[in-house]
Amino acid sequence: MLNVPDNPIIPFVEGDGTGRDIWRASVRVFDAAVEKAYGGKRKINWYEVLAGEKAFTQTGNWLPDETVAAFNEYLVGIKGPLTTPIGGGIRSLNVALRQLLDLYVCLRPVRHFPGVPSPVKRPDKVDMVIFRENTEDIYAGIEYRAGTPEAQQVFDFLHATFPKDFNKVRFGTAERTDAFLDMIHQSPEGKVEVGVGIKTISRLGTERLVGAAIQYAITFKRKSVTLVHKGNIMKFTEGAFRDWGYEYAERAFGDHVYTWAQWERTKAARGEAAANAEQKAALEAGKILIKDAIADITLQQVLTRPDEFDVIATPNLNGDYLSDALAAQVGGIGIAPGGNINYVTGHAIFEATHGTAPKYSDLDKVNPGSVILSGDMMLRYMGWIEAADLIVAALSKTITDKVVTYDFARQMEHATEVKTSEFADALIANMDVILAGGGQADEGTAVGPELLKRAEGRVYPRETVGAVMTRTVVAVPGDASIREVSQHMQARGIHSVVVLPDAQGQWGIMTMRDILKKIAAIGKDINGMKVDAVTTRPLITTTPDMSIVACAQLMLDKNIRRVVVTEDDEPIGIISDTDIFHFVVG
Ligand SMILES: NC(=O)C1=CN([C@@H]2O[C@H](COP(=O)(O)OP(=O)(O)OC[C@H]3O[C@@H](n4cnc5c(N)ncnc54)[C@H](OP(=O)(O)O)[C@@H]3O)[C@@H](O)[C@H]2O)C=CC1
Ligand SMILES: O=C(O)CCC(=O)C(=O)O
Ligand SMILES: [Mg+2]
C-alpha cells in the first residue's frame, strides 16, 4: 500500500505529437477532480520531466537521466506518448522507461462506456483486463540489422554450433540466396541480408506477470484468467509461458484457482466426465478458472465470444496487438488507458495505449479520454478513489450527453463535436453536475461498489420501463461501511444502490433517503455502521417490459420512489418516479 501525502509530487512527460494537446486538457481534468473531490485538502504538485522530442531539443538527449531519476524517486508518474522511428533511429523511449524501472506489468483495462460508438453489436460484453508482460520478449529489442557484423556473428555462431537449426534460416547463406535468385531469373548477389531478433521469455518474468494477473482477479472477483500465447509454434518461449503460468497458478494460488492443467490431469487419470465435474465444483466454490488460448484464435474469439474473456495474461508482443484490437471494440484507441507497474517496488508510470498520432499534432482535435482514464487509474493506484470516481462519472456523462471529439462524432448521430480542450471543459463542468446529484449512475469501478449486469446496447419498446430506466446498477455488499458507500454515491451523483443477496439469497436496496432516516433517528454519526443496517429486503422489482403506467401504479401502491428492474432475477437497472416524470413531461 502506497503512503501518499496530500500534496504529492508527480512527475509527468507531456509527450510528442498530440501528447501536447492531450496533456494540456487532461491535467486540468485531474486538478479539477482532486480539488472538487477533496475541497482543496489535496493537490498534486506536477513536476515536468523531459523525454522525446522536447528533451532532445532542450538537452540533446532523448531520455535524460534526470527523467528516469525523477520517476524512480517519486514512484508514481504519468506520461504522454513518445515517437519511435520505424526501421532505424533511436529505440523506443517508452520501452526503455519500462525496462529501466522494471515496470513488468502493462495493465490495460478494456471496458465499454454507455453511448460510445463501436463497430461491434455488443460492446457492453467487452470487459477485459490485459496484463501484458512489459520487460521481455522480442519487444525488448535484441536485434541486429541485416548485413551488420553483429548479425553475421549470430549466424556464424549458429552455423558452427547448431548447423541443423542454422539451415532453417531460409536465406542465411549467399549460396541459398543466389539459388533462389537464379530460380526467379535474377542475377546472383553473392551476399546475405537477413535481420535477426532474439526472443526471450523467462520463468521468473512469467511468474511475476501471471501472479499479478491472478492477484488482480482475486481482489476484483473476476472469474477467469486466460494465458494467451503462441506456444504451439514458439514452444520454449510462449509455450513455456503457458506451462510456467499454470504451474505458478497452482503453486502460489492453489486455494483460489482451478486450472485447465488440472483438468487435463484429471481427465487423463479418471476421464473427461470426472474432470468436468471437478471443474464445475471448483468454479461453483468461487475458484478462478485459469485457462489458455492460442494468440491467433484469441483475436477472433475476443470478437465473437467476448464474455468468455475476463483477465488476460500474455507476453509482451501479443499484449501490444491485443490491446489495440480490443480497444477498437469499445470505441477505439482514443479511450484506451494503461499503466506500467512494478507491484514489488511500487513504481508505476501511467500512459495511454495509443501513440503520438502525428497527423493531428497541435490541432486540439484528438480524444484526451485515454490519458484522462490513465489518470483515473493513477489516482486509484494512489488510493484517491473519490477523485477517480468523479472523473469516470463526469467522462461517462459527457459521452452520454453526446459531447465528443472527432473520433466518436464521426460514428455518432446528433453528436456535438468538440476539440480536445473543449471536451475537458465539458467534463469539468459535468463534475459539478455530478456533485450536485444530477448525474447518471456510473458503472461500478474496480474498487468499491461493483457493477451488475448491464442493459446497455439493448433496445426496449417505447413507454416500457426498459426504455426509461437508468441502465447501470451499482451493487454493494451488506457488510460495506455506510460512510464509504455514501461517499461513492456522492461522488457518482446517485441516490440508491442495490445490496448484494444476503444468506437467504435476497437482494436489497439502500437509498439516500434510508440513510437520512437513520441519521434523523440516531444522530449524524454513521461511522462504523454497515449497509445492512438500513437495507430494505426483499426488493420490490419490475421487469423491463412492464409499461410505464403500470410501473407508476406499482410505485403508488407500494409507496416507494424507486423500483429495481430485473432480468433472470438479476438487477439490470433502476427506475425512479423522477425518471417517469421526466419521460411523461418530455
Ligand atoms: N506508449 C507510447 O508512447 C506509444 C507510442 N507510439 C508511437 O506513436 C507513433 C505513431 O504511431 P501510430 O502507429 O500512428 O499509432 P497512433 O496510436 O499514434 O495513431 C494511430 C491512429 O489512432 C487514432 N488515434 C490515436 N490517438 C488518438 C486519440 N487520442 N484520439 C483519437 N484517435 C486517436 C488515429 O486514428 P484515425 O486516423 O482513424 O483518426 C490515429 O491516426 C509511433 O512513433 C509509435 O511508435 C505508439 C504506441 C504507443
Ligand atoms: O514504444 C512505442 O513506440 C510503441 C509502444 C506501443 O505500441 C505500446 O506500448 O503499446
Ligand atoms: Mg501498442
Same domain, 313 and 368: no
Distance (Å, whole) CA 534 – CA 513: 10
Q: Give yes or no for residue 416 having a pLDDT over 90.
A: yes
**Does 92 contact ligand 2 (Cβ within 6 A)?**
yes
Q: What is the DSSP string of 94-159?
A: HHHHHHHTT--EEEEEEEPPTT---SSS-GGG-EEEEEEE-S-SGGG-EEE-TTSHHHHHHHHHHH
Same domain, 246 and 189: no
Pairing of strands 224-229, 288-294: parallel
Same domain, 472 and 433: no
Same domain, 313 and 346: no
Q: Give yes or no for residue 490 having a pLDDT over 80.
A: no
Ligand nearest, relative to CA of residue 87: 1
**Does 320 contact ligand 2 (Cβ within 6 A)?**
yes
Q: What is the DSSP string of 355-400?
A: ---GGGTTSS-S--HHHHHHHHHHHHHHT-HHHHHHHHHHHHHHHH
Burial 104-143 (b: 16+ CB within 10 A, else e): bbbbbbbbbbbbbbbebeebbbbbbbbbbbbbbbbbbeee
Which of the pair, 528 or 213, is modelled with greater confidence? 213
Same domain, 271 and 292: yes
Distance (Å, whole) CA 38 – CA 324: 35
Cis amide bond preceding 538, omega within 30: yes
Does residue 123 form part of some domain?
Answer: no
Does residue 457 form part of some domain?
Answer: no
Q: Which ipTM did the prediction report?
A: 0.98
284 grid coordinates: 461453483
The predicted pLDDT at position 527 comes to 73
The predicted pLDDT at position 481 comes to 83
pLDDT in tens, 69-89: 999 999 999 999 999 999 889
Tell me which residue has its CA closest to atom 15 in ligand 1. 355
Tell me which residue has its CA closest to atom 6 in ligand 2. 320
Which of the pair, 231 or 511, is modelled with greater confidence? 231
Same domain, 5 and 59: yes
Same domain, 353 and 399: yes
Does residue 449 form part of some domain?
Answer: no
The pLDDT of 158-180, averaged and rounded, is 96
**pTM attached to this predicted model:** 0.79
* Ligand 1 atom closest to 79 (CA): 3
pLDDT in tens, 196-216: 999 999 999 999 999 999 999
**CATH number of the domain encompassing residue 363:** 3.40.718.10
Does residue 454 form part of some domain?
Answer: no
Does residue 122 form part of some domain?
Answer: no
The alpha carbon of 524 is separated from its chain's Cα centroid by a whole number of angstroms, namely: 38
356 assigned ligand-binding residue: yes
The residues carrying an active-site annotation are 139, 230, 296, 320
Same domain, 432 and 474: no
The alpha carbon of 1 is separated from its chain's Cα centroid by a whole number of angstroms, namely: 20
Q: Give yes or no for residue 487 having a pLDDT over 90.
A: no
The predicted pLDDT at position 456 comes to 44
- Final residue before a domain boundary, out of 154, 174, 197: 197
- Residue 427: closest CA among 479, 375, 351: 375
Which of the pair, 187 or 485, is modelled with greater confidence? 187
- Final residue before a domain boundary, out of 277, 307, 330: 330
- The length of the chain is 586
Ligand nearest, relative to CA of residue 325: 3
Give residue for cell 430485473: 566
Q: CA gyration radius for the chain?
A: 27
Percent of the chain with pLDDT over 90: 75
Tell me which residue has its CA closest to atom 33 in ligand 1. 334
Tell me which residue has its CA closest to atom 14 in ligand 1. 357
Residue 456 near residue 114, CB atoms below 8 Å: yes
- Residue 336: closest CA among 379, 370, 378: 370
Mutate which of 316, 356, 362, 373 to test ligand 1's pocket (most atoms within 8 Å of Cβ)?
Answer: 356
Amino acid code (one letter) for 375: G
Residue 428 near residue 26, CB atoms below 8 Å: no
438 grid coordinates: 444530477
Count of alpha carbons within 13 Å of 276, Cβ hemisphere only? 3
**Does 196 contact ligand 2 (Cβ within 6 A)?**
no
**CATH number of the domain encompassing residue 547:** 3.10.580.10
- 498 CA → ligand 1 middle, Å: 40
Residue 555 near residue 455, CB atoms below 8 Å: no
Same domain, 212 and 323: yes
Give residues with Cβ within 8 angstroms of 423, minimum separation 6.
25, 367, 368, 369, 398, 403, 404, 405
- Final residue before a domain boundary, out of 330, 352, 367: 330
Same domain, 413 and 488: no
pLDDT in tens, 46-66: 999 999 999 999 999 999 999
- Ion ligand 3 neighbours (CB, 5 A) are 320
Does residue 460 form part of some domain?
Answer: no
Does residue 448 form part of some domain?
Answer: no
pLDDT band at 491 (very low <50, low <70, confident <90, very high): low
Tell me which residue has its CA closest to atom 19 in ligand 1. 357
Does residue 128 form part of some domain?
Answer: no
**Does 324 contact ligand 2 (Cβ within 6 A)?**
no
Which of the pair, 569 or 420, is modelled with greater confidence? 420
Which of the pair, 58 or 517, is modelled with greater confidence? 58
Helices (H), 141-259: 149-161, 163-166, 174-183, 203-219, 240-253
Same domain, 558 and 521: yes
Distance (Å, whole) CA 230 – CA 294: 5
- 450 CA → ligand 3 middle, Å: 29
Looking at the DSSP assignment, which residues form a beta bridge with residue 474? Answer: 451
The pLDDT of 258-279, averaged and rounded, is 98
CB atoms within 10 A of CB 170: 9
* Helices 548-558 and 577-585: angle between axes, nearest 10 degrees: 140
The predicted pLDDT at position 345 comes to 96
Same domain, 156 and 185: yes
Task: Indicate the range of 146-160, 421-435, 514-528 predicted with least confidence.
Answer: 514-528
Give residue for cell 413531461: 585
pLDDT band at 171 (very low <50, low <70, confident <90, very high): very high
pLDDT band at 344 (very low <50, low <70, confident <90, very high): very high
- 517 CA → ligand 3 middle, Å: 52
Give residues with Cβ within 8 angstroms of 571, minimum separation 6.
452, 453, 473, 475, 498, 507, 539, 541, 564, 565
Domains identified in the chain, total number: 4
Distance (Å, whole) CA 560 – CA 536: 11
SS3 content of the chain, % helix, strand, coil (to 5): 45, 15, 35
Range of the domain at 569: 465-585
